[in-house]
Amino acid sequence: MRNRIAGALYGMALGDAMGMPAELWAKERARRFFRKKIDRFLDGPKENEVAFNYKYGQFTDDTGQALVLLDSIASTDYVPDVRDIAQRMIAWAEKENAWENNILGPTSKIALANFRDGIEDTRPTDKALSNGSAMRIPPIGCLFTPDQKQELVNYVYGVSRATHTSDVTIAGAAMIAMGVSSAIVNDDFEQVIEDILGIEEMGYQKGCESYSPRLAERTKIGLQLAKQFADDEDTFTQKIYDIVGTGVCIIESVPAAVSVAYYTQDPNRACLMCANLGGDTDTIGAMASAICGAFKGADSIRPEYIETLQKQNDTDFDAYIEILLKGREKLK
């Protein structure tokens, strides 16, 4: 169990850090700039208005905010507290100069600024279409077993509602959390996919109604592409980019991440595929590699990757693994 949970956490950080240099760049721009596929940790280019803040092997706001969630739930005895989460998010954002450095996503930027300034306005969170809820959710999946579907959805909503309360953003986050939850205990990835698709409707029922394509339907397109181009990785990734989409909208990034996880079923391969995907590479990488890490375990991740993540980030990974193990026991 510890190996699988550690795999989810390290996998998330791995996909995040590997995808950081090309974050929010179009696929061809990234290809021209790096001249070949990204095949290792790289510094954030000074030309990238988001990634320039980071050095090689450093994870971004995706993993950073996930750790904020874990700090919060550990301090509140695993009961989600929206005020505590928001305050910790704001403290993290101020420490990271997140507003000035354009690190925050579009919805989180508005929601946290409103909370900071004492403005009560749920319209930005109720209408959210961005992927902030899903990008930081993977470790939450470690707290639940796949048969705790309603408990997982309720918890996802509880830790997300400071910034995201729309149906699509809760459903998308629930799908990623369930992917991790299922991958921890299953050795058949078809079952992982069944669990991911099976929780979507419950997520939609929890959030405020929005207009957006359905996540499960978009994900099924990506899964079909994975099967159709199982022996042609370049065509598969191009089709994901062209058809499913790889942008910051949750309707694109969650199906893309699930599709890559299904295609690779390996965190080492997933992190590199996502890094070269184009679009929101760090977020898609964080979600896909977290699911794959949970599926394969931390001992499947290349040791040099883990060593770099430990060296380049001021993070006690073992302490967060313990938080997740304790929470899983408490919430079962």
Instruction: Indicate the annotated binding residues for Mg(2+).
Output: 60-62, 280, 282-283
Q: Distances in Å between the alpha carbon of 259 and those of 32, 190, 221, 267, 270?
A: 25, 12, 9, 13, 10
Cβ proximity of 168 and 216 under 8 Å: no
d(CA 269, CA 262): 11
| Range 51-71 burial, b when 16+ CB lie within 10 A, else e | bebbeebbbbbbbbbbbbbbb
Query: Per the structure block, which two tokens stand in for 25?
Result: 């760049």
User: Which segments are annotated as binding site?
Assistant: 60-62, 280, 282-283
Residue 45 DSSP class: P
- Residue 46 is inside which H or E element, if any? none
Residue 234 · residue 31 · CB < 8 Å: no
Instruction: Indicate the SS3 state at residue 81.
Output: coil
- The closest of 44, 49, 61, 213 to 133, measured between CA atoms, is 61
Identity of residue 182: S
Give the separation between CA 131 and CA 235, rounded to whole angstroms: 25
Q: Where are the alpha helices (DSSP H) in the chain?
A: 2-19, 27-34, 61-75, 82-95, 106-116, 123-126, 132-135, 149-160, 167-185, 189-206, 215-228, 233-239, 250-264, 267-275, 281-296, 303-312, 317-331
